[in-house]
Structure 1
Amino acid sequence: MDVKSVFLNGDLNEEQAPRAWYERLTQFLISHGYNKGGIDKTLFVKKSGKDLMIAQIYVDDIVFGRMSSQMVEHFVEQMKSEFEMSLVGELTYFVGLQVKQMDNTIFISQSKYARSIVKKFGLENASHKRTPAATHIKLTRDEKRVIVDQCLYRSMIGSLLYLTASRPDITFVVGGYPRYQAEPKASNLVQVKRIIKYVNGTSDYGILYSHDPNYMLIGYCDADWAGSADDRKSTSGGYFFLGSNLISWFSKKQNSVSLSTAEAEYIAAGSSCTQLIWMKQMLKEYNVLQGVVVHN
């Protein structure tokens, strides 16, 4: 399925624009045969025989994909007849994500953003790190160390959290350090800088998607039992694939203290199954039906 990007300019005032624009666009698309998503309310799908048209709304932008060039031309004509809009063309950049479309693959990255983070915090000339964190160091409040600049620490964490949109390799380690934003210590800041140094040497990393005919939804989950040195809570983690393509991932501290590794694993598996059920329902709206497999 090819992907195009369309930029729509509404003529509504600032106070009414978000809701009024969405309602007006929704009514227009539904009246032209599009079905509104039940899980994702910004998704609109139109089926015509074996052809499929998908439109995803983000504020006043629309990213759409199609299986027929005629459906695209008809869609653009319909939108131009009702709204002031311009066709940007093939999707190459969207909400901070760089998209490179090739014949059989799509590569998504945030390399420009990654380099801007490194430059912002003055670490472009620092030595690169081979890993985002040292395996022998435990996350801790470190009460003995001095408190560092809270604004600087929060800025670093916020920048890295946004980068995890295309960098699952740093999701786990980045997810641990927001816990210390209230009183960040010098040791915490050193470890966050290490992550940025790792990003500096891996700024071109991203995710490659292939046109895989396999639609099996597979999830992998794990937990680090009592990984937090402060409260002995574990962290659940999961990665989800559609065929051979990574489509979602998460890393989240568990709400309760697990008394055994088995309990921590069960909590992680439960969180992963919840995600898989949601994604299965979501994929139905994209006309993708598949089985589900979970590995713990």
Structure 2
Amino acid sequence: MDEECESLLERQTWVEVDLPEKASYIGSRWVFRRKLDITGSVERYKARLFGWHVRHVDVKSAYLYGKLAEEIYMKLPEGYEHTVGKVARLLRPIYGLKQSGHVWNETLTAFLETHGFQRHWSSSRVYVSSNQVIIVVYIDDILLLHSDPKEIDKVVQVMKGEMKHELRMNQSAYIESILRKFKMELCKPASTPLDPSVELSVADCPKSQADRDEMATVPYRELIGSLVYIALSTRSDILFAVTKLSQYNSDPGRVHGNQLKHVLRYLNRTKAYELVFRTNAESAVEIHCDADLAGNADNRKSWTGVTVEVAGNLVGWMSKKQRCVASCTMEAEYVTLAVAVKEAKWLTMISEELGLKERLKMPVVMLCDSQAAIKFASNRIEKTRTRHIDIAHHVARDAVQSGTVSIAYVPSNQNVADTLTKGLRPAAQKNALTLFNVKSQEIGGIEGISGHFTLIPPACTPFTVYTTCLPLSRLSCSLSPLCAIVKNACSV
């Protein structure tokens, strides 16, 4: 009953109103029944039907996806907390309404036609796409048929995203092609992008011509280019590793090459991770900042990491070496705050030009794990040990005083940007991927991540669409914040 109530509330099925004069309402009651789950049994068997693959999809709370055109009032059910004297005006069809099935069918038909399907002329339950994916519908049960299971997967993923109002992006196919190209498809998976016990340095560059000739056979630059594309498109978790290793493009050594392979081993383990954008009426902008003091072993320059989130969606990330040498952690964090403020200003400007600024919750919230840097940015403190800081970095202080941004403290173990400044150990890496209330679970025998986060591997049943497989035969901001802003604006 609780699960059904959650579905009704999530889909905004009704609003509580006073019953208008001369209006009547329909009754409501709970209906309890047992539905046998055949998923566990049918997955053990194989069958053949003209060499085609079939997948079964069960749409959870299917009727609640449509919208009612009629004005219908309902007495609220027992056990549902509501204001005394109020009734429910239905916004969406629920079970028991005579028009519910029709509204759901029209909603599904409109969705399928939008994605290139046509209803079969001889049966209103059959839809066919241009590439011959066949869909058979019986109420909320859907069968998808095609000779290529990958074509079925594409349709199912679209259905999952649309019905949950999500945009999902992954590069699993590209990652697999890279693994094959560099003969790493059978490599042992790794749990972190870099080996945290190895400190990269120019001291690891070839010492002799023989070593240099050996490394000449390694496609180091080519692989870096491929990984940069992945890191900037959908995989923020490997950006620091790729940025760090790209410093040695001109003369890579064996240690650098091994660490590059380590990145591939990590991708082999996490190739199914997805970048997910979810609609959210709360359009807050948060920027996480972090710095690693003297993170570069060669010149002791610090490392900057910045993430940009709009409405809870990660839309941009940055990992770069600072240009100056910071003398303390506070200074390194303060320099990072200046970089983050520039991103916040750009985001505000482009939102204003698009007419979307009023949808963003202002000021932009910047989260930093250095209390000293926050205090220095929030107050005009001038001391002997800080007066050398370049005026260029004081944009953070000016932005706070003008109200453009506000800075709040976040503990280091909750700072998303921590993954963009240093190589983490397995436990810390796992914690970094769970900062958005993500839960670890076993998916296909491999530990994966599912839940509300930017990087999640697709599970069999993570949300509204349940599927059963029946096999019948700068290195900087990677994604424009426009993607999340526009999607969020359209959903409100």
Match status 1:149 vs 2:216 = yes
Shift of 1:285: 3.1
Structure 2 Cα separation of the partners of residues 153 and 278 of structure 1: 34
Q: Deviations over 1:102-126 (max 9, x none)?
A: 2221111111111111111100011
Q: What is the aligned partner in structure 2 of residue 182 from structure 1?
A: 250
Report how many aligned residue pairs link the two structures. Answer: 201
Query: Please, which of 283, 291, 299 is the counterpart of residue 223 of structure 1?
Result: 291
Structure 2 Cα separation of the partners of residues 176 and 265 of structure 1: 19
Letter of the aligned partner of 1:115 in structure 2? E
- What is the CA RMSD across the aligned residues, in angstroms? 2.1
Q: What is the aligned partner in structure 2 of residue 120 from structure 1?
A: 181
Larger Rg: 2
Structure 2, unmatched stretches of 5+, are 1-109, 111-156, 369-492
Q: Is the 2:304–2:320 Cα contact (8 Å) retained in structure 1?
A: yes
Q: Deviations over 1:133-166 (max 9, x none)?
A: 1222212111466331276100111000000110
Letter of the aligned partner of 1:161 in structure 2? V
Letter of the aligned partner of 2:367 in structure 1? H
Q: Deviations over 1:226-258 (max 9, x none)?
A: 011111111100111002111111001111111
Instruction: Give matches, 1:1-296, under 5 Å.
Output: 100=158, 101-103=161-163, 104-141=165-202, 142-143=204-205, 146-147=211-212, 148-149=215-216, 152-164=219-231, 165-289=233-357, 290=360, 291=362, 292-296=364-368
Q: TM-score, normalised by structure 2?
A: 0.39
Letter of the aligned partner of 1:110 in structure 2? Q
Shift of 1:218: 0.7
More strand by share: 1
SS at match of 1:135: coil
Q: Is the 1:239–1:248 Cα contact (8 Å) retained in structure 2?
A: yes
Q: TM-score, normalised by structure 1?
A: 0.64
Question: Relative contact order (C-alpha < 8 Å, sep 6+): which is higher?
Answer: 2
Shift of 1:287: 2.9
The 4+ residue runs of structure 1 with deviation greater than 6 A are none
Letter of the aligned partner of 1:203 in structure 2? K
Q: Is the 1:219–1:295 Cα contact (8 Å) retained in structure 2?
A: yes
Distance 1:151 1:126, change over 3 A: closer
Q: Which moved more, 1:254-263 or 1:187-196?
A: 254-263
Q: What is the aligned partner in structure 1 of residue 404 from structure 2?
A: none
Structure 2 Cα separation of the partners of residues 238 and 150 of structure 1: 35
Structure 2 Cα separation of the partners of residues 114 and 287 of structure 1: 37
Q: Is the 2:205–2:252 Cα contact (8 Å) retained in structure 1?
A: no
Q: Which moved more, 1:229-238 or 1:282-291?
A: 282-291
SS at match of 2:219: helix
Distance 1:138 1:254, change over 3 A: same
Q: Which moved more, 1:104-113 or 1:157-166?
A: 104-113
Distance 1:246 1:216, change over 3 A: same
Structure 2 Cα separation of the partners of residues 237 and 287 of structure 1: 29
Letter of the aligned partner of 2:188 in structure 1? S
Structure 1, unmatched stretches of 5+, are 1-68, 70-98
Identity rate of aligned residues, in percent?
Answer: 31
